[in-house]
Amino acid sequence: MLKGLLDKFRKGSTLEYDEAKELASSNDVKVRQEVAEHPNAQPEILYFLATDKVSTVRAAIAQNNATPRQADLLLTEDEDDDVRSELASKISNLAPGLSANEVDNLRRMTYEALEILARDQATKVRRIVADTLKDMADAPPEVIRHLAEDSELMVCAPVLENSPVLTERDLMQIIKLNPADGAISAISKRKSLTDEVMEEIFAAGDTPAVAELLGNGSVSIKEDLLERICDKSRTVKSLQDPLVHRPTLPKGVALRLADFVADHLIKALLNRKDLDPETAKAVREEVSWRLDLAAEDEAGKQTETPYAKAKRMYKEGNLEPAMVESALKAGQKEYAIAALAVLADKSPSAVEKIAVSENAKALVSLAWKAGMEPMDITIVQKRLGGLKPVSLLKPKGNKFPLSEDEMDWLLEFFGD
């Protein structure tokens, strides 16, 4: 009897409800599973099998597109992760166009099932939903935002990196939420990012995310932000490599990098093809100065102090005011103080006193006395005096902002 019903079922003949139920009630798991997999099985029978004691039968019901949505909702609470995973694969593919305010009963239940699966306790179930929805332009925004805020990187990352549903506001809020480790890096990989989102990534202080942003050749990072990242890389050295290998690098950033970039990255910086000849030359000169200075320091560090070296170079006619700026850029503050002392005919202690005074006028006066150009007074105030931008004195055109009498008086005030 059962074999006859099964043959009839396999041939596609319509079974009476009682006949189909007899198959679905068989003690043979293979028979019940075959019914559960059949695309023409009656909805009532599929609903009946959704509570089967064997998980492989329930998994077949979860996979079957003919399964009524009521049975799918039932399976969202199934105790077996594999059953819910199969259901997640099917329901996620029905997501396009769904929203939280569905009126149609079938669509409403589909959305409800999707929302439950997106919050499932099993990471692998949520991950299936995220992987399926990540590229859908008309995926439900509420579900996408929930997945994007998931605490597991394997769930949130695909959505954060790819979903076109996430808005600029969504991304900025997620960054501020202090999400899972690696989540901001996933945002940094997006093919399109606004200036505001990139600013938020930098402000978050997530170094790997900033490095990922630098390596993202599909986004254009404004020069001002690149300069700030460059300044940060002086101390956060892991940012230097992605900066040096950034697809396009503005002239100002390349020159800044030349001041301090790690030795093993110098060749890569010099070999960049996007620098114009003038910039490339300036970078080479800056690097050459650094290498020469390092060589001199290495040769004389055992016997010659910075002040003795500055006096020797001055006597030999090789100490130039421009070397103060280069030394400050290279982080050679002790040598810059020594050079300023010799060039301005002041004692090193007097120069050190001015350096820690937080007095912009005194720092400008020192630069003037040392023969530096008006355009160079900013770096002396910032790198030697540690002044903030709001406190800086700037040159008036190509002139110093103070009179010579005032600068002489200030230097006299700070002593020899």
Q: Please give, one letter per residue, the 3-state secondary structure of 93-152.
A: CCCCCCCCCCCCHHHHHHHHHHHHHHCCCCHHHHHHHHHHHCCCCCCCHHHHHHHHCCCC
The string of pLDDT tens digits covering residues 77-136 is 999 999 999 999 999 999 998 888 877 899 999 999 999 999 999 999 999 999 999 999
8 Å CB contact between 262 and 237: yes
178 contacts: CB under 8 Å, gap ≥ 6: none
Max mean pLDDT range (140-154, 169-183, 283-297): 140-154
pLDDT at position 116, please?
A: 96
Average pLDDT of span 341-358? 91
Average pLDDT of span 16-35? 82
pLDDT at position 35, please?
A: 87
**Residue 368 within a domain:** yes
The tokens describing 135, both together, are: 């590229």
pLDDT higher than 80, residue 274: no
pLDDT higher than 60, residue 4: no
pLDDT at position 179, please?
A: 78
Rounded to an integer, what distance in angstroms lies between the CA atom of residue 112 and that of residue 105?
A: 10
Mean pLDDT of the chain: 87
Work out the pLDDT band at 302, boundaries 50, 70, 90.
low
Give me the helix-helix angle, 29-37 and 55-63, nearest 10°.
10
**Residue 329 within a domain:** yes
Rounded to an integer, what distance in angstroms lies between the CA atom of residue 40 and that of residue 35?
A: 9
pLDDT at position 197, please?
A: 97
Length of the chain: 416
pLDDT at position 299, please?
A: 54
pLDDT at position 13, please?
A: 58
Average pLDDT of span 353-365? 91
Q: How crowded is residue 388: how many other Cβ atoms within 10 Å of its Cβ? A: 9
pLDDT higher than 70, residue 301: no
The tokens describing 125, both together, are: 């179930």
pLDDT at position 198, please?
A: 97
pLDDT higher than 80, residue 303: no
Max mean pLDDT range (15-29, 252-266, 319-333, 355-369): 355-369
The tokens describing 41, both together, are: 């099985």
**Residue 379 within a domain:** yes
3-state secondary structure of 307: helix
β-partners of residue 399 are 396
Work out the pLDDT band at 332, boundaries 50, 70, 90.
confident
pLDDT higher than 70, residue 205: yes
φ and ψ at residue 375, rounded to 5 degrees: -70, -15
pLDDT at position 249, please?
A: 85
The tokens describing 240, both together, are: 């230097």
**Residue 413 within a domain:** yes
Work out the pLDDT band at 294, boundaries 50, 70, 90.
low
8 Å CB contact between 85 and 125: yes
8 Å CB contact between 337 and 352: yes
**Residue 119 within a domain:** no
Least confident of 38-42, 93-97, 373-377, 392-396: 38-42
Work out the pLDDT band at 39, boundaries 50, 70, 90.
confident
Count of the separate structural domains present in the chain: 1
pLDDT at position 297, please?
A: 57
Rounded to an integer, what distance in angstroms lies between the CA atom of residue 258 and that of residue 283?
A: 6
pLDDT at position 8, please?
A: 59
**Looking at per-residue confidence, does 166 or 100 come out higher?**
166
- Comparing CA positions, the residue from 126, 118, 19, 110 lying closest to residue 65 is 110
Least confident of 15-24, 113-122, 214-223, 386-395: 15-24
8 Å CB contact between 257 and 275: no
282 contacts: CB under 8 Å, gap ≥ 6: 255, 258
Rounded to an integer, what distance in angstroms lies between the CA atom of residue 122 and that of residue 83?
A: 11
**Residue 321 within a domain:** yes
Q: By residue range, what is the domain housing residue 413?
A: 304-416
Identity of residue 196:
E
111 contacts: CB under 8 Å, gap ≥ 6: 98, 99, 100, 102, 140
8 Å CB contact between 321 and 343: yes
8 Å CB contact between 3 and 11: no
**Residue 343 within a domain:** yes
Rounded to an integer, what distance in angstroms lies between the CA atom of residue 13 and that of residue 10?
A: 7
**Residue 294 within a domain:** no
